[in-house]
Structure 1
Amino acid sequence: MAESSMVVENKLSQEELAEILEEEAFLIKQSGETPEIAYYSGLYYLFEDPEGPGLRPEQVDLRILKKAVFERYKKILMRDLKPANRDRRIYRGLARSIANWHRLKKYCEKEGFDIEEVRAETVERLLHFLNNEVKEVEAGLRESSINCSFSELIEFAKELGIREELLPSGLKKLCKNL
């Protein structure tokens, strides 16, 4: 009996439910480096938290939240491939880009997202970043910000579908010797 009264108490309109899910998606998109943690925190809030709406999984289409995780991973990946961010506190470097690419790829495989759109943008951004980095370092405008080894960078490029000969010359000396 208590269970049926709980269902009545927690019955939300479609509009209210959509608003709650949009708020959770917003929190995921604004989360830190691991958006899946924010996703699972959101699930706890939606389904188990005494302060939450007390929803049941069958009431909720989680695609909006899963898409928010995808978008957040993409945003942090692209952030570290933007030359203008190299001197900002938010910048984590190519080593983190590589790690975030692997996280995003694994997430896409698990949740059925198509990573090819992100792959194409990542290729474009990585090549731009590397060409810019080589040009600026060789011109004496800055120190190298590349925080991974040359072999890690080559492996990342190959995984993205970039042949080594398409990478800028002079790149190896800018990489960390790990």
Structure 2
Amino acid sequence: MDQRQQLLTDEGLIVRHAGEIPEIAYYNSLYYLSDDPQGPGLELAAAELDYLQGQAIARYREILLRDLEPGNRDLALYRGIGRVIWNWQRLEKFIERHQLPACLELQQEVVAALTAFLDNELHEVQAGTRTSCLNCTSSQLADFLRHLGLEQAPSCSAWLSLCPPELE
């Protein structure tokens, strides 16, 4: 692997394993690779930009699915459905800003994970085994469900009832 490829691979790993806002790591990598006086001063090709953008999207996917995993609800890494909504919006803005194709496969994954998460949450709350962990208002959840095409789901109104009234 030549030095250019190694630099891109390293920066891709940084973006892929960045914190909670992958696009910040993406922009930091672009700056380092291209404009930083102490960086390599590369002019990135379209394929190289695609690679780095793909790493940012992969990180968004990981974050979204992490917070849609019921087993994570009681862990410190869990951020909740409110954060899923924010991260989905951030991802969409990133895609739009860079004129990338829509991530339809990821959207299908998120729809499936969200549906399973909300069904599980509803089941456990109704069974009395836990209280709801939803950290968004019913209007925020309703908007998100509508955006994802889930507003007609059979359990939609029951899901919305899980939102805490104090957030209204």
CA RMSD of aligned residues (A): 1.9
Which residue of the partner structure matches residue 114 of structure 1? 102
The letter for the 2-side match of 1:130 is L
Q: Cα deviations across residues 138-167 of structure 1 (Å, max 9, x unaligned)?
A: 112112110111121111011001133433
CA contact (8 A) 1:94 1:147 kept: yes
Residues 137, 144 of structure 1: 8 Å contact kept: yes
Give the corresponding residue for 1:8: none
In 2, are the aligned partners of 1:134 and 1:168 still within 8 Å (CA)? no
Name the SS of the counterpart of 2:9 in structure 1: helix
In structure 2, what is the equivalent of residue 161 of structure 1?
A: 149
State the number of aligned residues: 165
Unaligned stretches of 5+ residues in structure 2 = none
Instruction: Look at both structures and tell me which one has the larger radius of gyration over its CA atoms.
Output: 1
Q: Deviations over 1:57-99 (max 9, x none)?
A: 4698211111111111111111111111111111110010011
Q: What pairs up with 1:88-167 in 2 under 5 angstroms?
A: 88-111=75-98, 112-167=100-155
Q: Quick check: 1:98–1:156 contact (8 Å CA) kept in 2?
A: yes
Q: Does 1:78 align with 2:52?
A: no
Equivalent residues of 1:28, 1:65 under 8 A apart: yes
Structure 1 match to 2:17: 30
* 2:12/2:55 contact within 8 Å kept: yes
Identity of aligned residues (%): 41
One-letter amino acid matched to 1:40: Y
TM-score, normalisation: structure 2: 0.89
Q: More deviation in 156-165 or 108-117?
A: 108-117
Q: What is the distance in 2 between the residues matched to 1:139 and 1:162?
A: 24
**Paired letter, 1:31:** A
**Native 8 Å contact 2:22 2:60 kept in 1:** yes
Tell me which moved more, 64-73 or 110-119. 110-119
**Aligned AA for 1:63?**
D
Q: Give the 3 Å change call, closer, same or farther, for CA 171–114 of structure 1 in structure 2.
A: closer
Separation (CA, whole Å) in 1 of partners of 2:137 and 2:93: 23
Unmatched runs of 5 consecutive residues or more in structure 1: 1-13
SS of 2:131's equivalent in the other structure is coil
Which range moves more in the overlay, 91-100 or 163-172?
163-172
After superposition, the Cα gap between the structure-2 partners of 1:53 and 1:138, relative to the gap in structure 1 and judged at 3 Å, is same
CA contact (8 A) 1:74 1:118 kept: yes
Q: Per-residue deviation at 1:27?
A: 0.5
CA shift digits 1:19-66 (9 cap, x unpaired): 111110110111111111111111121123343223234698211111
Q: Which amino acid in 2 is paired with 1:104?
A: L
